[in-house]
């Protein structure tokens, strides 16, 4: 998050798995087939007390890609 001057690093968890810049499986194939809901948590990266104040804005983008089943059939 940023207010234009200061930044607060964020931690994003999806289905209790930390989202980073590395690819990761966040839902099993069987769970994805039936669909459903899961947890999304966006929080401060660490528990250090903040030393800045003000109004902050943040943007989180997550891209989900399907896994292609063996043999090419979904």
Residue 74 above 70 pLDDT? no
Q: Is the dihedral of CA 46, 47, 53, 57 positive or negative?
A: positive
Per-residue pLDDT tens digits for 34-64: 888 999 999 999 988 988 888 888 888 888 8
Query: If DSSP states are collapsed to H, E and C, what string results for 19-50?
Result: ECCCCCCCCCHHHHHHCCCCCEEEEECCCCCC
Percent of the chain predicted with pLDDT > 70: 91
Q: 31 is in which domain, residue-wise?
A: 1-74
0.75 cut: is pTM over it?
A: no
**Per-residue confidence at 14, pLDDT binned at 50, 70, 90?**
very high
Domain count, the chain: 1
> What is the Cα–Cα distance from 38 to 15, expressed in whole angstroms?
5
């Amino acid at each position: 998050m940023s207010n234009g001057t200061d930044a607060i690093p964020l931690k994003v968890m999806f289905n209790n798995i930390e989202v980073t810049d590395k690819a990761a499986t966040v839902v099993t194939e069987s769970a994805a087939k039936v669909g459903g809901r899961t947890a999304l948590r966006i929080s401060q990266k660490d528990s250090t007390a903040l030393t800045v104040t003000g109004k902050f804005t943040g943007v989180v983008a997550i891209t989900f890609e399907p896994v292609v089943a063996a043999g090419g059939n979904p």
